[in-house]
Amino acid sequence: MSEETLDLTPSPRILDVIADVDMTVEECLAELIDNALDEIDAARREDPGFEGRVEIDLPYGQKVTAESVVTVTDSGRGMSVEQIRQALRAGSSGNSRYGSLGLFGMGFNVATGRLGYVTTVKSGRAGEDHWTIVSIDIQAMGSQDSFQVPMTTEPKSPNEHGTSITISRLRSDTSKRLRWSGTAKRVATRLGQTYSYMLRTVAGTDIAGAEVIGGLGIDLILNGSSVQPYIPCVWSPERSVPYKGQHVSAVTEINYELNPAFACLECGHWHNEAIENLDRCLECLSQRVELRDRSIRGWLGIQRYDDSSDFGISLLRQGRTIVHLDKSLFEWTNPDSGDRLVEYPVELGRGRIVGELHLDHLPVNYRKNDFGRDGVAWSTVREKIRGDGPLLEQLSKQLGYSVNTSKLGMLFHAYRRYVAGYRYLVPGDGQKGMAEQARKWGEKFREGLSAYQSDEMWWKHVVNHENILAGASNDDGSGDDDVEDLFPPGRNQDQGGSAGDDNADENGDGPSDETTQDLETRDERLSRYRDNGRVIPQLDGADVMIPGGTRTINVTAYKTSEVDLIDGADKYSSANLEAGVVELFIDEGHPLLAAYGWNPIDVAATVLHDAAAHFLRYDGRAGEFVEGVLEQIGDRQIDAATVRSSAEALLEGIRAASAALVKGDPTGVWAKLSSKAKIQTQKFAAADASADWNALESSGGYVEFLSPRAFEDLIVEIPEEMLDGGVFTSSYGSWQDDSIREERMSHLTSLVRDLERTLTATDRLSARELLRLSIGLEALSAMVVDEAKL
């Protein structure tokens, strides 16, 4: 049987068809810029001193005519005739799918064909005496039904080198877009975002976080002016806030080394990392396969202002931004139900978590506006950056996940609220956060004004807010701002009274207690409540949906002592609602607590009902409201799993409160432990695959794995350091009678033994026994020092 063949060479009209792909002007330019930057990067690798630049000539506005052209020129090494041939063939690529920005061939033809009908490529190398010029006329090629294109030469100096791409006979829709007002500004802005990392030069500047965000310093010129890169406006990495005994830095670096794997340089397919030898791609059968390193690197941080859209984590490939300020990592999908939940931002719809992730090993689509997100590679990125569980702590507990301590999770927990002061790193005016002003300062940062490049302007107002609350005027003459400008509107700096003012009574005894209290501002009063209270852990920034509705509020509840709740409906409780955030203050002498032994969470739920009725016009039944709230909090149910979860959280709290003591004398504290406690602690540490025991033992890091038995030992061995506010609030040293001291230690060690038993509780225990253990946890929790106040 004879064999015949068919010629399936496509018609040149295919170039006109593929050019109908919808791409913006800036996307088309970016495709050409990518190829130019690839060339400059390659030249720099060969010669570190090589200085390359890319220039764009783009007509806009009234300058656009029928004869207008768009030109992209680079000062790279230029191309040979064979390199030009490979670069311009439709569907071919002189570049690999990995290790390069640009994809000559299909991407090049789509981008140039989308802008205009005629593309002229002019390229030459140093030492040559001519330019090589190729002209691609889509319409002419279609009418002639041929892919043959003319190639000519033009004399040049041997010192000249580089490549220019000129698009002429612009499409009518391209001309129309270029004539729109604001086109040039929009293109510059988008290019500044797309090439942010590659263009910026931050080393040696005052820009906060410069040592982390980095940059390559390549020059990109648009119509004679340098494109200004988008620079993240973050806090200095030296700033931090406390969270569960840790200091969470405002900027943290990301560096995860993944196992190497084989990648196909033709189709871009990544093979399973378990494959040790491979000579051809399992997808396209190409022999261009290569074992390549893989990593996830970059940084995450906190922006100096919050915003409804200007936040998120940019995703980069080879230094080029593929997705600017992506927000998908703030979403979590329930693997059981498939339901998608947007977890951040939780307040007012404005966020301030930002970052950049370099994902050089992930494939991108041909438009380069997103990564492939269906494969294992993207799932690995999500797992490394945000963990496998929810960010929301209460939701994690309800679904059986541990608290999310991923890099993103720690920033989420530590900076989730926008409350003025040190705790959340928010500038304030003595009354509230300066959100709008902080955004205006951010605009000045973008404008390049020197006073706003570091974070000092923001930090000054964080400090000043705290000073105002503390009664300090901050009038040291060192600042540029007038002191009166730093006080809230209408606040009199002399409101505290003086010897000659009208607040003094007839006997000259000064202002009465009632007058002094009247002078206390609302924020000062709330601050006093907080300072005299302990946060109820289950209601520490908990998101609670109002039962029967769709509104969610953020709730923090305090159990207060030695403070009069003067603005509450009764003297035992008070509530404050501001911008969707509710603070509840419950006096420890509340009858439901003191006389009837209610759990503080249950009391908080009743107080929250009253607050919802007052502030939010909730008119449902109180019982249904309290039940709905307790269901969301989760650990009020009396079952073994819930009680164990509470015990685990309490153990973490005791470890956090003990961190300073242990790390101050790692060797001495370890010597105090019994053999059983040491074995238990090492078993806990061994469960963490990343733990290095020698490092943990020498640094005191083993405190994160101490068992309840270890704490029992320490209470007996060093009670003076463990009690009296060291780790537990129970008094010890002030008692002279040894029997009283012994009783204090015995009571505490008994509660710690109950904690150990609770960690292994099963459903075989009766509800009454589980309730007894739960009450013991509450009693022990109340005795643990609040690590935030250490």
Instruction: Please write the tens of the pLDDT for every residue from 657-708.
Output: 999 899 988 999 999 999 999 999 999 898 888 888 998 999 999 999 999 9
Cβ atoms within 10 Å of 367's Cβ, excluding its own: 17
Say what the pLDDT of residue 613 is.
83
Say what the pLDDT of residue 515 is.
36
Contact criterion met (CB below 8 Å) for 635 and 642:
yes
Say what the pLDDT of residue 480 is.
42
| Nearest residue to 557 (alpha-carbon basis) of 521, 580, 581 | 581
783 Rama sector, left if φ>0, alpha if ψ -120 to 50, beta otherwise = alpha
Low-confidence ranges of the chain (pLDDT < 70): 1-21, 90-106, 347-348, 472-520, 549-550, 566-570, 579, 634-639, 763, 767-768, 787-790
d(CA 744, CA 373) in angstroms, rounded, equals 58
Cβ atoms within 10 Å of 262's Cβ, excluding its own: 21
Query: What is the helix (H) or strand (E) element at residue 131, kind and residue range?
Result: strand 130-137
| Nearest residue to 64 (alpha-carbon basis) of 190, 193, 223, 194 | 223
DSSP string, 265-315: TTT-PBPPTT----SS-TTT--S-EEEEEEEEEEEEEEEEEEESSS-EEEE
Determine phi and psi for 340, rounding to 5 degrees: -105, 135
Say what the pLDDT of residue 567 is.
63
Say what the pLDDT of residue 11 is.
56
Which residues contact residue 63 at a Cβ distance below 8 angstroms, ignoring those fewer than 6 apart?
A: none
Please classify residue 152 by burial: count the beta carbons closer than 10 Å to its beta carbon, then call 0-12 exposed, 13-18 middle and 19+ buried. Answer: exposed
Query: What is the helix (H) or strand (E) element at residue 555, kind and residue range?
Result: strand 552-560
In the chain, the domains with their CATH numbers are: 13-198 (3.30.565.10), 240-415 (no CATH), 520-629 (no CATH), 640-789 (no CATH)
| Nearest residue to 320 (alpha-carbon basis) of 24, 23, 19, 35 | 35
DSSP string, 299-360: EEEEEEEEESSS-EEEEEETTEEEEEEE-GGGEEE-TTT--EEE-S--STT-EEEEEEEE-T
Say what the pLDDT of residue 492 is.
36
Three-state SS for 99? coil
d(CA 329, CA 408) in angstroms, rounded, equals 9
The β-bridge relationship of strands 312-317 and 351-358 is parallel
DSSP string, 477-533: S-SSS-HHHHSPTT--TTTT--TTSTTS-TTS--S-HHHHHHT--HHHHHHHHHHTE
d(CA 108, CA 337) in angstroms, rounded, equals 43
Tell me, rounded to whole angstroms, the distance of Cα 391 from its chain centroid: 11
| Cα dihedral across residues 137, 143, 149, 154: positive or negative | negative
d(CA 226, CA 364) in angstroms, rounded, equals 27
Tell me the per-residue pLDDT of 144-171, one tens digit each, with 9 for 90 and over. Answer: 777 788 999 999 999 999 999 999 999 9
| Cα dihedral across residues 148, 154, 156, 162: positive or negative | negative
Residues pairing with 581 in the sheet: 554, 578
Amino acid at 62: Q
The beta-carbon contacts of 514-519 under 8 Å, at least 24 apart in sequence, are 517/566, 519/495
d(CA 481, CA 506) in angstroms, rounded, equals 39
Query: What is the helix (H) or strand (E) element at residue 258, kind and residue range?
Result: strand 251-264
Cβ atoms within 10 Å of 676's Cβ, excluding its own: 12
DSSP string, 700-765: TGGGGG--HHHHHHHHHH-HHHHTTTTSB----TT---HHHHHHHHHHHHHHHHHHHHHTT--TTS
d(CA 528, CA 657) in angstroms, rounded, equals 23
The β-bridge relationship of strands 552-560 and 581-587 is parallel
Both tokens assigned to 99:
């290790």
Contact criterion met (CB below 8 Å) for 228 and 411:
no
Contact criterion met (CB below 8 Å) for 419 and 432:
no
